[in-house]
Structure 1
Amino acid sequence: MGVPVPRGAGPRLLAWAELLRLPALFTVPGDALAGAAAAGGRTGPRTLLAVGCSLCLYEAGMALNDWADRAEDAEERPHRPLPSGRVRPTAALVAAGALTTAGLALAARAGHRALTVAVPLAATVWAYDLVLKRTPAGPAAMAAARGLDLLLGAVASGGRLRSALPSAAALGAHTLAVTAVSRGETRGGSPVAPLAALAVTGSLTWALTRGPAPAPGTRGAADVVRGALTAAYAGTAARPLLHAALNPSPPLTQRAVVGGIRAMIPLQAALAARSGALASALLTAALAPAARRSAKKVSVT
């Protein structure tokens, strides 16, 4: 006999899933795994704590984003949970605060070094949503948040922070490009941002083919995995960006943004594979099918 679901619970849960953009959560764990791999750290319980922190802070940002955009969404996206009345603005703000607190608590459990990265990460998330989003510094702030998230996994796993900086820069560059494109989601725009994002995708694709030599005995497998993941990243990101560059209309721009978000997973996996962490790379890549399935029910943007 199943557990009875209160009347109205289904629509309320769906509204919160839309508010928090749950399918995008699948793009988060790979940050910590790629960071641990790049830093030479050991993936373990503290890495999982870093993943939990990342998930909480990411969802805090999603709730805060809609709270800050509620007036704009009332005009451009009236179907969103807040302007449609399915979620109260106060509830979204409280959720953002509670998720931030939970994330920082998890970071504290992961150790002092993890907390020293998580605090500026949380501050960047709140600054972006409340102040920086509509300024020229917006894309850079979002890129900084993703880079810090990768570094969180690096230090929580006991790795060398400096060794993880190139991977953090790569993830940040992709994030900056996608965020710049996202500014034309509702109104459309010029082809400049999609073309710039295409150039970034090409540069990162080239960089992913370079990297530390795999450990003896694993070179063949590592090269195959890294090549496949790099191709998956390039294919996922580049095609919709090209379409948006040729026709920067709102629908094609939104598809380019969705493609850029989905491309986070193969990018993280390829970064882990480049560092020789094949298990982390394959685990991260395995999140992609689940992300695609869930995105059919709830939009990631």
Structure 2
Amino acid sequence: MTTERLPKPLAVPAPRALLELLKPITWFAPMWAFACGVVSSGVAVGGRWPVVLAGILLAGPLVCATSQAANDWFDRHVDAINEPHRPIPSGRIPGRWGLAVAVAWTLLSLAVASLLGPWVFGAAVFGLALAWIYSAPPLRLKRNGWWGNAACGLCYEGLPWFTGAAVMGAALPDGRVLLLAALYSLGAHGIMTLNDFKSIEGDRRTGIRSLPVQLGPDRAARLACLVMAAPQVAAVAALAAWGAPWHAALVAALLAGQGTLMRRFLADPHGRAAWYNGTGTLLFVLGMLTAALALRGGVA
């Protein structure tokens, strides 16, 4: 009689599993927003490339990656239902390694942020705090889609934009920069709702009240589109008022393109949420850069 040899439990995660835990695909949004902040500051990069690159590293591979590791750790029971192939529920990140990585990346993020000035350090502390309370009990903001999506939108768009402008000016950014950062943070609330469509069943079973769970897919989809579009309308009006009509017209055209895609998304919200994330969101972020360029151009 032969016995099948069982595989040994992993003691140390493989590098590939660690990279998957940190989700590099999610780093793009805050890195892009940081770049928009740099552009909108109106300060020439010149010899400041090391500072800019350090800021991009902070926004994506450090702070954003920290939030992903923390989220995966505290979501491991939900992911066992929605995405059992993820590194923690699949066992490829064993034991408490997921939590250890989140803590280590938090400390590393703070160390890098401390080198970039007080405004950047303060923004990093705030962003990391939001990342933890989004996922971790007792607050666990993600249990309610209204609060959780607001925290994500701020961390993915507003704070990196603020940080990019602050690192260039070494001061509190101009009020127009802050307004655009706030508007695109609000728009990102709708983008975060799109991400919740893939996990409706697991969220419902584990008590997470995402907006698709609270409102149903159709109403949540309509709300997401409204929340994405309204701040862009406000951005167009602001750019026009600041004397940047061409930039305002381009953002309006990009918004019109999103409107066409939204109609197709609304016909099948559950089936096309990921599709819209890969199409309409691209137009959204191009509008961000257009608005940033308007400020760089020295609008009145």
Which residue identity does 1:269 align to in structure 2? Answer: L
Distance 1:14 1:277 in 2: 43
1:165 corresponding residue in structure 2: 178
Distance 1:272 1:264 in 2: 13
Q: Select which of 210, 213, 225 maps to 1:198.
A: 225
Which residue identity does 2:295 align to in structure 1? Answer: S
Structure 1 gaps of 5+ residues are 1-10, 279-301
User: How far off its partner does 1:169 sit?
Assistant: 1.1
The answer as to 2:89 corresponding to 1:83 is: yes
Which residue identity does 2:78 align to in structure 1? Answer: E
Q: Select which of 127, 130, 150 maps to 2:161.
A: 150
- Map 1:64-79 to 2 at 5 A: 64-79=70-85
| Cα RMSD for the two superposed structures | 3.1
1:270 corresponding residue in structure 2: 290
Q: Select which of 259, 266, 278 maps to 1:245.
A: 266
Which residue identity does 1:30 align to in structure 2? Answer: W
- The answer on whether the counterparts of 1:29 and 1:54 sit within 8 Å (CA) in structure 2 is yes
Which residue identity does 1:155 align to in structure 2? Answer: A
Distance 2:95 2:176 in 1: 41
User: How far off its partner does 1:186 sit?
Assistant: 2.2
Q: Choose between structure 1 and 2 for higher RCO, CA contacts under 8 A separated by at least 6 residues.
A: 1
Give the greater-gyration-radius structure (CA). Answer: 2
Distance 2:229 2:220 in 1: 14
- Map 1:116-131 to 2 at 5 A: 116-130=122-136, 131=140
After superposition, the Cα gap between the structure-2 partners of 1:71 and 1:260, relative to the gap in structure 1 and judged at 3 Å, is farther
- The answer on whether the counterparts of 2:187 and 2:232 sit within 8 Å (CA) in structure 1 is no
After superposition, the Cα gap between the structure-2 partners of 1:175 and 1:202, relative to the gap in structure 1 and judged at 3 Å, is closer
Number of aligned residue pairs = 259
Identity score, percent: 25
The answer as to 2:64 corresponding to 1:62 is: no
After superposition, the Cα gap between the structure-2 partners of 1:63 and 1:259, relative to the gap in structure 1 and judged at 3 Å, is farther
User: How far off its partner does 1:127 sit?
Assistant: 1.0
TM normalised by structure 1 equals 0.73
Distance 2:126 2:285 in 1: 24
The answer as to 2:147 corresponding to 1:137 is: yes
Which residue identity does 1:102 align to in structure 2? Answer: L
Distance 2:81 2:227 in 1: 33
Residues 223-280 of structure 1 deviation map (CA, whole Å, 9 limit, x = unaligned): 47x7667655764x5566434422232x3233334556555642432232222369xx
- The answer on whether the counterparts of 1:35 and 1:151 sit within 8 Å (CA) in structure 2 is yes
1:179 corresponding residue in structure 2: 192
Which residue identity does 2:289 align to in structure 1? Answer: A
Q: Select which of 50, 60, 64 maps to 2:55.
A: 50
Residues 177-198 of structure 1 deviation map (CA, whole Å, 9 limit, x = unaligned): 1123333322363212221222
Distance 2:21 2:32 in 1: 22
Residues 65-124 of structure 1 deviation map (CA, whole Å, 9 limit, x = unaligned): 111110111122112121111222522222222222222212111112211221111111
